[in-house]
Every structure is written in structure tokens, then in C-alpha cells.
A and B are shown apart, each in its own frame.
Chain A
Amino acid sequence: MSTPGPAAVFRRRPGMPSTRFLRSELLLIFGRRRNWAGMLVLAAVPILIAVAVRFWAAPSNGESGGGGPDFASQISNNGLFVALTALTLELPLFLPLAVAAISSDSVAGEANLGTLRYLLAVPVNRTRLLAVKYLAIVIFAIAATLLVAVVGIVLGLAFFGGGNMTLLSGTQVSFGTGLWRLMLVCGYISFALAALGAIGLFVSTLTEQPIGGTVAILILCIASEIMDAVPQLSAIQPYLFTHYWLAFGDLLRDPIAGQQVLKGLLVAAIYGAVFWTAAWARFAGKDVSS
């Protein structure tokens, strides 16, 4: 045969990166009805807050639940605080639950269905598989955070209007600056959730039951939060991955009090790197019998 074989027709030019695999992963995450139901629950919280504050009077001794910064009292002044309140309320449980479910699904879900062996036989390099799946988890974390924020912003502006924003330190800033600060908060939360996603990815490589993985990740999350609340454990608290989660309130001071936030980013980056590497170490040599 003097002409090149048919495979030559569709062998790609080497060195060109392709996002096809990533898009396929995103389709699995965002194309599944169960995940849309979960995202609806995430979006329900800011809706609930906006409607409740608008149509019901708060009791005279309004206390803020949880250890987070108090945004609830500011809602009637500026709608942007609906988003901030929603994020504060969802960060301890709902957002981690969403990220835990998605990250546990990534490897354990495929092992459970049996599709992992066919994916590896395509072939997909194991490191590449973990990298693409992690990227998809991170994109989901950003999307979930933005979903809560955007729903909060839209409803908040609709019910309470915008205008100047009073920061936690008392100063007033323009609406544009307020919006920018809110985006910084979203970025910080997404970063923290991305670290949780790495822990989730690691747990996902340990099991073939995605639901078991989700529960395990959530237990780790809540255990960390509980240890964070016990005063006697103050020595280890700065090393817990949830410790700096609610530090995003510092982004709403004038000037931005960056210390806690930077520590939070560092802790998240370290946890993310360590657990992604652990996932890689575990998965690279693992016998795939599923």
C-alpha cells in the first residue's frame, strides 16, 4: 500500500491541547438532573433570605446565627448583603456538601459504574485523568459559589435596591466597589472549596461507592468545624482546613485586612496540593478491578 493508512487521516497534530475531555467531564457534572436539583437547593437559600427579610419583621433582639460576620442586619440597606448572608449561611454545610458530592463522583462514581476501566483503556493517562477531573471540580466550585452570589444579588437588588454600601468597618463605598468586594469574597470561597475538592478527589480514589465518599468528605468537614469550635484545641485550630473559611469578612473592611485572608489562601493551597498529590500517588499505582 503506497498511500498512508487511514489512521493518518485523523491522527491529530501532536502538541495541540484539546479541551474535549474537559468539556465531556463538565457535561457529566452539569448535565445530570440530580446535580441541577442540588444547585436549586443552593439557590433557594438566598431566595429564602430575601423573601423573609422583605416580608417578615425581624425580632427585636436580632442575633446572627453561626460564627460568621453579621450581614443580615444590613440587608435592608443594600441588596448586595443578601448574597453575602447567603454565602455565610451556606458555607458551613451546603456548599461543602455540593462539592463533596461532585468530587466523590469523579473517580468513585466511574468505578461504581464500571466506566473507569474503559476510560483508562482509551487510553487516558492516569495523571491526566485526575488533572482534568480536578479542574472540573474546581469549575463546579466556582459555579456553585457564583450561583449563590448572583441569585442573591439579583433578588437583593430587586427587593432592597443598591446604592452605596456600608462595609463592616463602617465606611461607605460605591456600589461598584461593593460589587467588586463581593466578587473577591466569591473568589476566596471558591479557592477554599477547591481545596475541599482536592480532599474529595483523594477520598474518591479510595472507594468505589460515591455516596460513601460524599459522607466521608462531609464528616471530615464537620469534624474540622467542630474541632474549630472547641477552645481547648486552639493549638491545632490554625491548621484545620475550615479554620479560615469565614475570614472572608475581612475583605469587606476598609482597608482590606488581608492577614487572615492570606493565611486562609495559604492553608487552602497547601491542603489542595497535598491531597491532590495523595490522590495521584494512590491512583497511579492502583489495580483497577472495577
Chain B
Amino acid sequence: MTADTHPIASSVGSATPGIGAGTGPEPGRPDRADLPVTGLAVCTKGLTKRFRSGQVAVNAIDLAVPVGSVFGFLGPNGSGKTTTIRMLLGLIRPSAGWSELLGHRMPDGAAAALPAVGSLVEGPAFHPYLSGQANLHRLDAADRTVDPRTSRQRIDEALDRVGLLAAAGKRYRFYSLGMRQRLALAACLLRPRALLILDEPTNGLDPQGTREVRSLISELAATGATVLLSTHLLSEVEQICTHVGVMHAGTLVAQGPLHELRSGIAPRVSVSSGDPGAAAAVLREQGLSDVVVRSDRADAVLGAADPEQLVVALVRAGVGVRGFAVEEADLEDVFVSLTGEGFDVSG
């Protein structure tokens, strides 16, 4: 362990005032002291939660979230995602197995790990009789690792980042859902974080808000923070996630970089044509499998065939081609293939 990654050594070093720190804190960049040695921001081994009713909500999962990744945590309703997140944050004690957050074993290492972790779990929750700013001030006052003198400035910066500065003085009970969601995100930004655990952060946001949050997540990932994003929106996952973990009925059925997951389902080639039957025949001739004929097009699994040669073959055969596309595996298809077609919740 080098000095600047060892948590104790670097906090001793930081007792002196920051050199070149200027007038206030720099937004965004997490402290290197908060980064773990293993390269995994979140690491679990055999993490299990069995409730008193006998239900096994989380069944021996081995989560591995690499530092600096945007990890999409997917799963149908009731698959155990929120329970897992609560165990990571030390809110719930696991029945078996262990979890490490930023290199610290949880829940014992909570005091060391959690200051560098921002979280949004199961929706925003604040005191309705306090204003947005007062609510953030309360969370800041409870934090022992921050400097009270910069409190006001950091709160204002966080509110500004999420676009809530104008409504900061309003009581929380008068906030709309989108504003509440933004306030919860502002709470995650009160100090630089090395890890963000976000449970459906774009829930209830208008399109501008959604776009802002996604760009915020990308910005934070660019500064080196890790983001664990629990979401149902597969389009969101495709846009910003680098890694994916899929839960189903308490088990982690798939985990890894997004492109690896996609390669599980082969890309298909789609030919739009006035005569889809003839197009299908050519595709079969070329050795493509799983040829499907629809009303205006034919598609098949690309396999090892060269798409350009397919076009040449189609033209030579005299088939009129309106459009030709190679479609990557749809993430929705991957997801459904991993978690089943059923509509009922897992339990």
C-alpha cells in the first residue's frame, strides 16, 4: 500500500492546510485516500440476507464494481437490489458473507468508508418542515469529516449543480417530485465522493433534468468517482454505463463490462425490401441461421458472414434492397433472456 492510498497515512498528512487549495474546495475530484487498493470500489463475497420470514432476499452474491466505472445494477422488481444496497451501506446486517466499500469491511468500517460515499436509496427523504437548504445543512452538520466553515459554500454549490438554488429556501413539503429528487442528488454532492450509489436517480425528472443527471454522472465518472446505478431504464444503461450487473430472484445472474454482456447475444442483420421472401432466400443461401421473414424485411443472425458481401449477394440476386442494417444485441433482449419473460415480481 503506498502512502497516498493508505487511509490513515494520508489523513495524517492532510492535517496541514492544503497547499494551493485556494479559497475553497474543488468540486468533484475525490480524495485519493478514499480509493481502495484492490481496484474495486464495491466488493462482496457470498453476501446473503435471509429475513425472519424465511425469505432469502439476497443469495450469496459476489459483486465486483471496478473503481471508476459506471456500474448499472439491473434486475426486476423484488430481485434484491435494494436489499443489497442497504447491506452495502450498513443499514442492514447480512446473514452471511461480507462486503467491502472502498476497501473497508462493512459495517465496521462505516466511519471510514461512508464519508466518501454518496447515496440515494429508495427515493428522497427529508424533513418536510425544513427548507431544502436547511435539510442539506442538517446532513452536513452530522458529518464529522467536513469543515463547518465551508459548509454554506458547499451547500450552495451542490444546489447550484442540481439546479435547485432558486428553490433552496422553500420548505421541502412544497417541493415537486423532481425537485425532491434533485435535492437528494445535491445531498450526494456536499463533499467530493469516491463512490455514488444511486437508486433510480432520474425518477420523476423532466427531460432536461434527466439529461442533466446523466451528464452529471458522466462528469463524476470522468473525475474518477465510481457510480453504482440501480435502474430500470435500459436506455440509460446503454448511454452511460460501462459495466453491468443483473440480479434475478436474489442471485447475480450476470456481471461484467457491458460489451461482454451484449456479446452473449449475437448481432443480427436486417434487410428491408419489397420482396422479403427473396431476401430471406439469399440470406439462407449465404449460410445465415435463424432467418425470420416479416412484412417488410427479413433478418437473420449475422454469424461469421461479412455484411458487405451479403449486400453484394443481394444485389446480384436481383433483390430490391431499401435498407440494410447490422443490429447490435438489444439490451432489453439480453436482460429478458437473463431474467425470464414473466411479469410477476420475484417475491
Contact = CB atoms under 8 A, between A and B. Distances in A.
A287 B92 CA distance: 4
B34 A7 contact: yes
Nearest to B82: A289
A118 B126 CA distance: 9
B141 A24 contact: yes
A122 interface: yes
Interface stretch (A75-83, A109-117, A138-146, A265-273): A109-117
A119 B91 contact: no
B129 A31 contact: yes
Given A7-B191, A32-B129, A288-B92, A12 B146 contact: yes
B20 interface: yes
A9 B91 contact: no
A123 B115 contact: yes
B341 interface: no
A20 to B, nearest CB: 4
Given A9-B147, A20-B148, A113 B129 contact: no
B127 interface: yes
Given A114-B125, A123-B114, A6 B31 contact: yes
Contact of A6 (B18, B110, B125): B18
B316 interface: no
B192 A121 contact: no
Interface string A1-38: 10111111111111000101101100110011100000
B90 A6 contact: no
Given A121-B117, A122-B139, A289-B86, A10 B25 contact: yes
A28 B128 CA distance: 11
Interface size class of B (residues with CB under 8 A): 35 or more
Nearest to B150: A10
B17 interface: yes
Interface string B239-250: 000000000000
A5 B30 contact: yes
Interface in B98-122: 110-111, 114-117, 119, 121-122
Contact of B126 (A14, A115, A125): A115
Interface string B7-20: 00011011101111
Contacts of A119: 139, 142
Main secondary structure of the interface of B (DSSP, over half): loop
A117 B15 contact: no
A13 B15 contact: yes
Interface in B176-207: 187, 191-192
A120 interface: yes
Contacts of B90: 120-121, 123
Nearest to A6: B26
A118 B122 CA distance: 11
Contacts of B191: 7, 10
Given A23-B141, A287-B93, A118 B18 contact: no
A28 B26 contact: no
Interface in B123-173: 123, 125-130, 134, 137-150, 154
B45 interface: no
A24 B142 contact: yes
A123 B111 contact: yes
A196 to B, nearest CB: 25
Nearest to A17: B144
A28 B127 contact: yes
B21 interface: yes
A120 B91 contact: yes
A4 B18 contact: yes
11 contacts: A3-B19, A4-B19, A5-B30, A6-B25, A11-B147, A18-B144, A32-B129, A117-B125, A121-B90, A123-B110, A287-B92
The 5 residue pairs across chains A and B that have the minimum distance between CB atoms: A114-B125, A10-B147, A8-B14, A7-B31, A5-B31
Given A6-B21, A8-B21, 12 more contacts: A3-B19, A6-B31, A6-B192, A7-B31, A9-B24, A10-B150, A11-B146, A12-B145, A21-B141, A115-B125, A123-B111, A125-B111
